[in-house]
Amino acid sequence: MNMEVVLEILKYIIPSAVVFVGMYFILNSFLDSEERKRELKYRTDNSKLITPIKLQAIERMVLFLERVNLSNLVMRTYANGISAKAFQAKMHASIREEYEHNIALQLYIPNHTWKMVKSSKEETIKIINRCADQLNDGASGLELSQFILELVGQVETTPTEIAINALKLEVEKAF
């Protein structure tokens, strides 16, 4: 009789356990699917918000690079009667101000591209310093500007052009 009771109980417990396990897996699968849908919707909505900001950041970085492009920088910062050393300092200050103004944009630009932008800035400063070092101590700002512009004319691509091309590639990847 004891065995009959156990068998009777098992008759109810085993099917219930099978139904429970089946429902567990079905419910778990459904919840995972819903979570994936929510995550995809979140990423899609987030992308709709972030993409315009990223594009604006890239536009501003291109503007920064155009402003610190040696030709543009020389034309924008040159003043009559300035010494080469003062002109060099003025160009450094202009680059630093532009960079500091745009530094937060690195949040929206991939690391490798940001490194190219930063490297472009540093290379531009090095070129200015090399040109200034090759002039005598009493050189004028006009001499430095001419020397820089001659050097730019001899170079195939400037550091800023390389960084701008990298930013253009980022835009192409986005679309």
Closest CA to 109 of 97, 118, 96, 98: 118
Per the CB < 8 A criterion, the answer to whether 88 and 128 are in contact is yes
Distance CA 6, CA 174 (A): 66
Domain ranges of the chain: 51-174
Question: Pick the residue with more confidence: 6 or 158?
Answer: 158
Measured in whole angstroms, the distance separating CA 36 from the mean position of its chain's CA atoms is 28
Residue 1 pLDDT grade (very low, low, confident, very high; cuts 50, 70, 90): low
pTM for the full predicted model? 0.74
Distance CA 128, CA 95 (A): 11
Q: Which position has the token pair 């594009």? A: 55
pLDDT digits (tens, 9 = 90+) for 9-52: 888 899 899 999 999 999 999 999 999 999 988 888 777 778 88
